[in-house]
Amino acid sequence: MDDPARYRWIAANILPHESELRGWLRRRLCAFGDNDVDDLVQEAFARIWAADFATIRNGRAYLYATVRHLLAEYARRSRIVPIELLGEIDSLNLISDEPGPERRVGARQELDRLRVIVAALPAQCRRVFELRKFEGLSQRDVAARMGLSEKTVENHLTRALARIGATLATLTPAAELTHSEPSARRADDADHGND
Amino acid sequence: MTRIMETISELAARWAVRADGGAIGPDEQRELETWLAADSRHRGAYVRARAQWVDLDRLAALHGPAGEPPAASSMVEEPVPDPTAANAGVTVKPGATAAALSRRQLLAAGIAAVGVFGGGLSWMILREGRERYASGIGEVRRIALEDGSTLLLNTASKVTVRLTKKQRDIRLVRGEALFDVAHDKSRPFIVQANDTAVRAVGTAFAVRLEAAQVDVTVTEGVVEVADSKTMAGLGPATPATSRPGVKRVVAHERVVIARARAPDVKPIAPAEADRQLAWREGLVSFDGESLQAAVAEINRHNRRQIVIDDPVLAAMPIVGVFRAIDLEGFSAAAAAALKARAIPDGDVIRLQPGAVPTLN
């Protein structure tokens, strides 16, 4: 599988489960701030990227298994991970790909939400994004069409992608709304990577 | 004010956009590699951003021509709609929109190819004032009509459209389509499927054509259903609700017309209608249907097919939402849920009774 095919595989098999995973982590890892959830998700994506996709039969199960390994590592390195969490992630129904009721709603609404996010982009940013993504113009052609520099086009596309990614990351499945109060961010974030 | 620091996600988004743009020079490539190697979170964020960027193509699949409905006069006949040829399906349009349109169609082809075994191409033909629209296997295609109505074609479907001053005449030749009808009292919107005609003024409804029946689900407003002959005799805009042979179907109702049987109208809950129309979002949704029925549905969206080797397995219920073009994902999930095995076998994936595969 070449890299574009691998990105598509991730898009089809891992991305749909990300917001569910984040919601679960946010609810369960009260000692974790959003930055920690970000770290964990990024680490998980890095691990999954290194895997042989042909051996993965269930993306959701693999994602949770990866996170479980990471949490166990964090715990060993005395990062703050409540021990009972490891037991809980074990008891999750990892094999079944059946989404719960909230996930089914999530799947239905996912594209609607994307559309809303795109619609909410600043006008020029949105136009650039639409020309690139919907019309399939190259960045250079978008720049020529709109009379912008290619750098500006790149900036708009970056902003669009970053905002879409950030919004999806903070989406909370409906059933979890009561737990969605933002947890306090840890102040000592600077020590990442030094341990 | 410029921001001094970008977060990992923002940096990853910038690199993803740059790499996707294609014009990444050797120096930049080195810079990217250095950045990726510096921290495993960088790699993860980058992979996530690239995957999200790819995933956004699904939006384009549902995105019709933005404010530029296909004008019949500018459409050019395209005689060889061969969905298997790599460059088929690119309609040649004169003028400045040619590039954009063919790019869109290429893009649509790319989206179909996102499913490992999808790959149908869309095409249009103008013939005797009748426009033809078709979707490839695994493709969901949105078409904006001149009158402001839109139609959404499910996988492997085909319609023809003829808009005149008196009537909007649509034929569902194959498959399934959802119609969102622009209000226009002077021009009834009539969809014909086999011998059944469905008439609407301003409403939304889906029609599915199968071998032995036509299935109409109304999500908004009211439609009238009759056989084609009866409908033809009604004339324009007749309030025909009480005429013999004409069935009125309102929102949240579904009617099944089987050959040589009276139309069978039943209520359908909005959630159930949403579920049945999950294909609008490129999804298929099952709520206790047999594996056999679920496989039949998912096979409609894919060139590669799933075969169930065991009648007991075939009768087991399936619950879940799946990407219509993700045949492998579906078979793996079904196998896991039903304690079966999914075995790739050339052009098919076989589902057989067996043990749950272990993960670790």
- Mean local confidence (pLDDT), B250-271: 83
* Of A18, A42, A192, Cβ closest to residue B45: A42
A184 in contact with B at a CB cutoff of 8 Å? no
Beta-carbon separation of A11 and B52 below 8 A:
yes
Paired tokens of B291: 């594996």
Cα–chain center distance at B205: 15
Contact yes or no for B225/B213 (Cβ under 8 A): no
B-chain residue closest to A136, CA distance: B103
**CB distance B37 to A191 below 8 Å:** no
Weakest mean pLDDT among A166-175, B187-196, B197-206: A166-175
Q: Are B267 and B217 in contact (CB under 8 A)?
A: no
Report the gap between the CA of A111 and the closest CA in chain B (Å): 7
Distance CA B277, CA B207 (A): 11
User: Would you state the pLDDT for residue B228?
Assistant: 85
Instruction: Quote the pLDDT of residue B355.
Output: 56
Asked if B333 and A133 come within 8 Å (Cβ–Cβ), the reply is no
Place of tokens 């559309």: A115
Cβ–Cβ gap A59/B43 under 8 Å: no
Which residue of A lies nearest to B37 if distances are taken between CA atoms?
A46
Say if the Cβ atoms of A49 and B44 lie within 8 Å.
Answer: yes
What size, in residues, is chain A? 195
Number of H helices, E strands in chain B: 10, 19
Kindly state the greatest CA–CA separation across chain B: 76
Phi and psi torsions of B100, nearest 5° = -65, -45
Please report, as a single letter, which amino acid is at residue B278: A
Provide the shortest C-alpha distance from residue B228 to chain A (in Å). 35
B104-129 tens-digit pLDDT: 333 333 333 222 222 222 222 223 35
The answer to whether B344 contacts chain A (CB < 8 Å) is: no
DSSP H helices in chain A: 3-13, 18-28, 34-50, 59-76, 83-91, 101-119, 123-133, 139-146, 150-170
Tell me how far apart the alpha carbons of residues A136 and B101 are, in angstroms, rounded to a whole number.
9
User: Could you tell me which residue, B242 or B93, shows the higher pLDDT?
Assistant: B242
Per-residue confidence at B277, pLDDT binned at 50, 70, 90?
confident
Average pLDDT, chain A: 73
Q: List pLDDT tens digits, range B28-66.
A: 889 999 889 888 899 999 999 999 998 888 776 655 443
* Residues in a beta bridge with B131: B126, B161
pLDDT computed for residue B202 by the predictor: 72
Q: Check if the beta carbon of residue B108 is closer than 8 Å to that of residue B153.
A: no
Task: Inform me whether the C-beta atom of residue B96 falls under 8 Å from chain A C-beta atoms.
Answer: no
- CA B225 to CA B135: how far, in whole Å? 25
DSSP letter at B85? Answer: S
Q: What's the whole-model pTM score?
A: 0.43
DSSP state at residue A141: H
Structure tokens at A47: 């691990």
The tokens for B353 are 């009774």
- Give just the sign of the alpha carbon dihedral A183, A185, A188, A194: positive
For A133-142, how does the pLDDT look when each residue is reduced to its tens digit (9 = 90+)? 888 888 999 9
Task: Tell me if A175 sits within 8 A of A20, measured CB to CB.
Answer: no
Give pLDDT tens digits for A3-51: 888 998 998 889 888 888 888 777 766 555 667 788 889 999 999 998 8
Q: Are B118 and B136 in contact (CB under 8 A)?
A: yes
Contacts of A135 in chain B (CB under 8 A): 100, 103-104, 107
CA torsion sign, A32 to A34 to A38 to A39?
Answer: negative
Q: What part of A 112-171 touches B (C-beta under 8 Å)? A: 112, 114-115, 118, 130, 133-140, 154, 157-158, 161-162, 164-166, 168-169
Quote the CA–CA distance of A43 and A48 in Å, as a whole number: 9
Average of per-residue pLDDT values in chain B: 74
Chain A, residues 45-74, CB within 8 A of chain B, namely 45-49, 57-59, 61-62, 65
Q: Mean pLDDT throughout A150-167?
A: 91
